[in-house]
Amino acid sequence: MKKTIQNIEIEVSRGDIANQPGIEAVINAANAQLATGGGVAGAIHRAAGPQLYEECKSLAPIAPGEAVITGAHNLPNKFVIHCLGPVYGRDKPEDKLLENCYKNALKRAEEKNLKSVAFPSISTGAFGYPIKEATKISFNTILAEIPKLKHLQKLKFVLFSEADLEIYETMLAEM
Ligand code: ADP
The ipTM value here is: 0.98
For 120-168, the pLDDT digits (tens) are: 999 999 999 999 999 999 999 999 999 999 999 999 999 999 999 999 9
Average pLDDT, the chain: 98
What is the identity of the amino acid at 102? Y
The pLDDT value given to residue 11: 98
Q: How far is the CA of 111 from the centre of ligand 1 (A)?
A: 25
Nearest to 68 by CA among 28, 39, 40: 28
| Total domain count, the chain | 1
| Percent of residues, the chain, with pLDDT higher than 90 | 99
CB distance 83 to ligand 1 below 6 Å: no
Q: What is the CATH number of the domain that holds 24?
A: 3.40.220.10
For 52-109, the pLDDT digits (tens) are: 999 999 999 999 999 999 999 999 999 999 999 999 999 999 999 999 999 999 999 9
β-strand pairing of 116-119 with 8-14: unpaired
Give the global pTM: 0.98
The pLDDT value given to residue 67: 98
Residue 65, domain extent: 2-174
CB distance 116 to ligand 1 below 6 Å: no
